[in-house]
Amino acid sequence: MSTSALITSIADVGKSAREKLPNYAWAYYSWTSADGKTYQDNLEAFRRYRLIPRNLRDVSIRDTSVTVLGTRLDIPVAIGPTALHRLAHPEAELATAKGAAAMNTAMVLGSFANHSIEEFAEAAPSGIHWFYMLFYKDRRHMKRQLDRAERAGYTAIFLTVDQPFFPFSVDKSPRVSPRAYTVPLSFPNVIDVEPPHAFGSTEYRACLTAVVKEPPTWEDVEWVRENTRLPVVLKGVLSAEDARMAVERGVNGILVSNHGGREQDGVPATNCSRLCVCESLLTSCPTSSARFDGKAEVYVDGGVRTGTDVLKALALGARCVFIGRPALWGLAHNGAEGVQQILQILTDELSLAMARTGCAKISDIQPSLLVHQSYYGIPAVRAVQMSKY
Ligand SMILES: Cc1cc2nc3c(=O)[nH]c(=O)nc-3n(C[C@H](O)[C@H](O)[C@H](O)COP(=O)(O)O)c2cc1C
Ligand SMILES: CCCCCCC(=O)C(=O)O
């Protein structure tokens, strides 16, 4: 599929990316833990919800904007942190930043990026920049990174908490094929001075393992909270108890995520987990769900591929969603414009889904729009059995 071929969906962009990317890059981006059950579940779980539209409302104008961490985004879709954009495009994260800025939405710069905190911010000066910082053994390094992010105009710090050990420390078969190392890569945000070892070599991996803190603990989160004035978001929370502990420590946002099915296999799809987070909070501290909502925002990622998925995630209670692989597909498909195109497709689809379900603005998207298929699960099973005869 060429760049000029008719592209009408995220799936089309994914197909184009598959054709354009070398096998090692496609393999890394598509990689999942174990047999990919959790990844598949992320995709399928959205389809398990059905929508009950409200009709005859004035939806002639739809407003898809939302406020996240005090910043207005034109769409409730932001780009999450992903590593190694350089495998998809020579401009790497700089192009992704431009695509996000063109749609006036936020992007989280991953620490495993080819470009520094400052280069990224300068590439898209009008953009909304958030920074995913690693936990390091040396707190002075963390403090320097927090200060640099603040000075460069970033407006939030993301901490990933579902990766106690990094792939370069523990993966038995490498997540990134050695063939990828023919591409010039570096990690300026992780290592101050690039070591003289070949990128990806055992020695290079040992340099990374030497600096990162594995595994991080709540004490590290508390330290970050105390050492930056920026809002702090924990990414990778699946348990209600962890969400509560985060809120107690002054965390400002919870990104419900299973790392796109790339960490622990067998965990639930994230949109189910979101329900777990909320339901348990409601059950265990009945008076505090409002307090929780007031104190921290909740977001979700994993398997978002259509505007209807976005609508469903918001109806489940997420303030906004994040995308991982689709942004990489857009980047591979057509650089910054491809990333913009991905976001435009999701915007157009969301806007149409809002019209068809009677929502003129984001706050109209309510839980009552959704019914889970288990609601009519027994009749559905009977129908399958009947259909044999
Ligand atoms: C190639 C790739 C690299 C990723 N790198 C990181 C990372 O460095 N840090 C992180 O917190 N999450 C990382 N993620 C996870 C994403 O932030 C996100 O949780 C996930 O991709 C969402 O699922 P989706 O790809 O179905 O949208 C990565 C995901 C992919 C696909
Ligand atoms: C070569 C560095 C890769 C770091 C891990 C990135 C990641 O989280 C992933 O899912 O892949």
Assigned CATH for 10-383: 3.20.20.70
Cα–Cα distance measured from residue 271 to residue 278, given in angstroms and rounded to the nearest whole number? 11
DSSP 181: G
- Cβ(307)–Cβ(348) under 8 Å? yes
User: 307: which 2 tokens?
Assistant: 């505007």
Sequence-distant (6+) residues with CB within 8 A of 248 are: none
- pLDDT at 7 (0 to 100): 96
What pLDDT is attached to residue 4?
61
Amino acid at the residue 349: E
Q: What is the pLDDT of residue 380?
A: 42
Domains of the chain by residue range? 10-383
Ligand 1 atom closest to Cα of 323? 27
259 assigned to active site? yes
CA of 286 relative to ligand 1 center, distance in Å? 33
317 is in an annotated binding site: no
pTM (2 d.p.) = 0.93
* Ligand number, closest to the Cα atom of 187: 2
Ordered mean pLDDT values, 10 residues apiece, the chain (389 residues): 79 97 96 93 89 97 97 98 97 98 98 97 98 98 98 98 94 83 89 86 92 98 98 92 89 93 90 53 37 71 96 90 98 98 98 98 93 66 40
Query: Are 324 and 82 a contacting pair, CB within 8 Å?
Result: yes
In degrees, rounded to 5, the angle at the alpha carbon of residue 120 between the alpha carbons of residues 106 and 129 is 25
CA of 167 to the centre of ligand 1 (A): 13
Determine the pLDDT at residue 383. 38
User: How high is the pLDDT of residue 281?
Assistant: 43
Q: Which residues line ligand 2 (CB under 6 A)?
A: 83, 112, 166-168, 175-176, 259, 262
Pocket (CB within 6 angstroms of ligand 1): 28-29, 42, 80-83, 110, 112, 132, 160, 235, 257, 259-260, 262, 301-304, 323-325
Tell me the sheet residues that pair with 323.
79
Number of Cβ atoms within 10 Å of the Cβ of 268: 16
Indicate which residue's Cα is closest to atom 11 of ligand 1: 160
Output the CA 259–ligand 1 centroid distance in Å. 5
List the structure tokens of 242. Answer: 């962890």
Residue type, position 345, single letter: I
User: How many other CB atoms are there within 10 angstroms of residue 222's CB atom?
Assistant: 13
Give the Cα separation of 256 and 243 in Å (integer): 9
Residue 377: predicted pLDDT: 63
Encoding tokens for residue 384? Answer: 């399958």
